[in-house]
């Protein structure tokens, strides 16, 4: 059985220990919760033990991309303007950059301005107006444009394998095409929060708020994640707000194969899934963690035992490959890939001045992009507060999950800590980023195919 020792950047280790509001823990996504304190947004961090040895690996902020861009599309003529700094360190989704195919990009971004409110809107409503553009990579020409209204500032767009995409609307999902024509795709009996799909896009989990008095139907399985008993206050709050309903369905047929309900306490969780089932972790003796793959049809099997001093972070890169991050301050921090049938593909140490990582992947290839915010000093030198004044900026590293080799790196300007500023084409042979007032498109060497990919 696969065994991992070591792990992730020190800042990620600190963020794991931060006891703030719960957040999204999806594909290698480690949330550090942001607080707005007057004009300063900071991450509140707990003190660390003074005797923790620190590795010396530091990432340096690159002055320019390590490869020259093959194509450059200026942003100003598209009507894009940089948002104000109040959004920083809040993980808000304000842009989305995606490949429709190898020759076209779907670029969407928030348009500031007043929105018309309906009588039924909630007081905490955070609707956004989004400008959607389909761009030709070769000449930067706008082929189609549309304006969308999305429910809030959480993620709103997911690409499908056929060049179509899913747009989150208040009660479900709409499907769009390259001409920006939309049609209803899925409706749920409540407020849709987020979705998860397996790498091959055979299965999707929709997570939405159902009625507070909703009860579990006979034959339905229990929650995907077991939580400790909620306090009386939490139970009362969740009963007022509703229950979290996780509904698993087959994308091709729409057949619901699983549904579970759990009290809603304002947390959101991505469940790493493949076409077979979902991953669940449990703590073993000492610093050990067990990963189990639970079948959607019932049953399950153990995948690996992982050693980590913090809760490990993991997700499927393909049907048979997992990307795993752990932390062990005594021996360093590493990111690695493992096979679901057992065995390690590679392990690599990560920097101790990187924080708030995000990953973007091309599921049919080994190509991955890892975005991080870089601190000016090692994270061990910070005790409680990390704010924008402590950052060098945001960078992206593109590497192949099959061997861990980096193929390019670049600065990302402006900073979008909620992501959406990096994209990988379906073949993995083109990388697009938002940087230096433009969409820059790069063409690194071809990426090999991942084990288990079609």
C-alpha closest to that of 337 among 4, 94, 1? 4
Q: Which residues pair with 395 in a beta bridge?
A: 372, 411
Largest CA distance in the chain: 60
What pLDDT, on a 0 to 100 scale, did the predictor assign at position 329?
60
What pLDDT, on a 0 to 100 scale, did the predictor assign at position 94?
95
pLDDT at 217 over 50: no
What pLDDT, on a 0 to 100 scale, did the predictor assign at position 450?
64
CB 256 within 8 A of CB 247: yes
| Length of the chain (residues) | 454
Strands (E) across 13-70 are located at: 34-37, 40-44
C-alpha closest to that of 332 among 316, 308, 296? 308
pLDDT at 34 over 90: no
pLDDT at 156 over 90: yes
Distance between CA atoms of residues 45 and 192, nearest Å = 31
Q: Which residues pair with 400 in a beta bridge?
A: 367
What pLDDT, on a 0 to 100 scale, did the predictor assign at position 53?
53
Architecture of domain 2-116+125-215+235-442: 7 Propeller (2.130)
* Unique residue bearing structure tokens 């409540």: 190
Distance between CA atoms of residues 96 and 93, nearest Å = 8
User: In 61-90, which positions are buried (b, 16+ CB within 10 angstroms) versus exposed (e)?
Assistant: ebeebebebebebebeebebeebeeebbbe
Mean pLDDT over each residue of the chain, to the nearest integer: 78
Domain parsing of the chain, residue ranges: 2-116+125-215+235-442
CB 350 within 8 A of CB 8: yes
| Band of residue 226 on the pLDDT scale cut at 50, 70, 90 | very low
Mean pLDDT of 392-418: 94
Look at 445 and 382; give whichever has higher pLDDT: 445
| Cβ neighbours for 445, distance < 8 A, ≥ 6 positions apart | 407
Q: Give the per-residue SS3 of 34-94.
A: EEEECCEEEEECCCCCCCCCCCCCCCCCCCCCCCCCCEEEECHHHCCCCCCHHHCCCCCCC
pLDDT at 359 over 70: yes
C-alpha closest to that of 364 among 324, 408, 316? 316
Computed on alpha carbons and rounded to an integer, the radius of gyration of the chain in Å comes to 21
| Band of residue 137 on the pLDDT scale cut at 50, 70, 90 | very high
Mean pLDDT of 76-81: 96
pLDDT at 138 over 70: yes
What pLDDT, on a 0 to 100 scale, did the predictor assign at position 387?
85
Mean pLDDT of 56-67: 90
Mean pLDDT of 283-287: 86
């Amino acid at each position: 059985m696969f065994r991992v020792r070591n792990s992730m950047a020190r800042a990620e280790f600190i963020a794991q220990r931060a006891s703030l509001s719960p957040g999204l823990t999806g594909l290698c996504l480690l949330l550090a919760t942001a607080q707005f304190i007057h004009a300063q947004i900071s991450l509140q961090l707990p003190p660390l033990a003074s005797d923790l040895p620190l590795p010396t690996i530091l990432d340096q902020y690159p002055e320019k991309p390590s490869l020259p861009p093959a194509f450059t599309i200026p942003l100003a003529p598209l009507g894009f303007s940089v948002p104000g700094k109040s959004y920083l360190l809040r993980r808000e989704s304000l842009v989305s950059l995606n490949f429709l195919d190898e020759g076209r990009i779907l670029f969407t971004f928030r348009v500031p301005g007043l929105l018309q409110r309906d009588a039924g809107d909630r007081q905490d409503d955070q609707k956004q107006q989004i400008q959607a553009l389909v761009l030709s990579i070769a000449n930067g020409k706008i082929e189609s444009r549309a304006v969308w209204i999305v429910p809030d500032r959480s993620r709103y767009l997911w690409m499908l394998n056929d060049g179509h995409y899913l747009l989150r609307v208040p009660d479900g999902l709409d499907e769009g095409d390259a001409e920006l024509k939309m049609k209803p795709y899925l409706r749920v009996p409540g407020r849709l929060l987020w979705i998860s799909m397996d790498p091959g896009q055979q299965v999707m989990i929709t997570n939405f708020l159902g009625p507070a008095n909703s009860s579990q139907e006979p034959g339905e399985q229990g929650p995907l994640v077991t939580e400790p008993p909620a306090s009386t206050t939490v139970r009362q709050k969740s009963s007022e707000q509703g229950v979290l309903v996780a509904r698993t369905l087959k994308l091709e047929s729409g057949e619901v194969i699983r549904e579970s309900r759990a009290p809603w306490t304002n947390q959101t969780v991505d469940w790493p899934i493949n076409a077979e089932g979902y991953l669940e972790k449990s703590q073993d003796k000492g610093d050990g963690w067990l990963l189990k793959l639970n079948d959607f049809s019932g049953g399950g099997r153990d995948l690996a035992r992982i050693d980590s001093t913090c809760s490990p972070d993991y997700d499927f890169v393909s049907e048979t490959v997992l990307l795993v991050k752990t932390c062990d301050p005594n021996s360093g921090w590493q990111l690695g890939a493992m096979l679901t049938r057992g065995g390690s593909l590679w392990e690599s140490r990560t920097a101790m001045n990187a924080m708030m990582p995000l990953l973007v992947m091309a599921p049919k290839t080994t190509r991955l992009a890892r975005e991080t915010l870089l601190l000016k000093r090692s994270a061990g030198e910070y005790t409680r507060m990390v704010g924008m004044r402590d950052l060098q900026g945001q960078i992206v590293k593109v590497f192949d999950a099959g061997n861990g080799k980096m193929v390019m790196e670049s600065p990302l300007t402006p900073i979008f800590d909620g992501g959406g500023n990096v994209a990988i084409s379906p073949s993995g042979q083109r990388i697009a980023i938002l940087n230096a007032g433009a969409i820059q498109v790069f063409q690194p060497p071809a990426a090999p195919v991942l084990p288990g990919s079609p």
